[in-house]
């Protein structure tokens, strides 16, 4: 998993709680990397799972809720740090349709070793959008948060449903009237 996911996670913890909690998590985690992440490095995704579980214990929030909150944070950071991915799309649904077809293609150009999830669009019309999410890491709560964060960026309210299938999740997003 690319280091930007880790560095942003630590920033999310510092912003949502405080810097001392970041230090506590890194001290308690006993990570192979030592918790010294760079944005362009590659790290075992199990390290973020370890950090997430420790954060869950300390915060009292469950893993899925924390991962979803982090996903919202991450989407807004990506919109700030990589506006070219968002600015080329007029609306949330166009952006979501571009993730696999454009964003992930561009990410792979920079990071050929990146292991990215796969999104397959099932339906895109008017106020309804659905897609299949597949990932060996099973971080659908992170994907949900990313979708919610993108909706915030585009200024739309959504209803988001996730239907777990054997090896995939189907996300259904309905844009709500203002």
| pLDDT tens-digit map of 143-176 | 999 999 999 999 999 999 999 998 899 999 999 9
Q: Give start and end residues of each alpha helix (H) in the chain.
A: 3-16, 19-29, 45-59, 63-81, 83-87, 92-98, 104-110, 140-154
| pLDDT tens-digit map of 52-93 | 999 999 999 999 999 999 999 999 999 999 999 999 999 999
Residue 4: predicted pLDDT: 92
Q: For residue 36, what are the CA distances in angstroms to 4, 108, 110?
A: 12, 23, 21
pLDDT of 26 strictly over 90: yes
| pLDDT tens-digit map of 103-128 | 999 988 988 888 899 999 999 998 99
């Amino acid at each position: 998993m690319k280091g930007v996911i880790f560095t942003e996670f630590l920033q999310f913890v510092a912003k949502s709680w405080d810097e001392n909690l970041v230090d506590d998590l890194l001290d308690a985690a006993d990570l192979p990397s030592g918790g010294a992440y760079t944005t362009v490095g590659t790290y075992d995704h199990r390290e973020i799972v370890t950090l997430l579980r420790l954060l869950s214990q300390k915060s009292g929030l469950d893993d899925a809720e924390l991962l979803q909150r982090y996903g919202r944070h991450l989407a807004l950071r990506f919109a700030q740090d990589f506006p070219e991915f968002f600015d080329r799309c007029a609306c949330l649904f166009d952006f979501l349709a571009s993730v696999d077809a454009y964003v992930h293609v561009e990410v792979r150009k920079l990071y050929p070793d990146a292991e990215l999830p796969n999104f397959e669009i099932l339906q895109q019309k008017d106020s309804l959008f659905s897609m299949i999410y597949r990932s060996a890491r099973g971080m659908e709560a992170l994907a949900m948060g990313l979708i919610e964060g993108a909706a915030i960026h585009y200024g739309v309210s959504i209803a988001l449903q996730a239907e777990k299938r054997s090896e995939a999740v189907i996300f259904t997003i309905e844009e709500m009237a203002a």
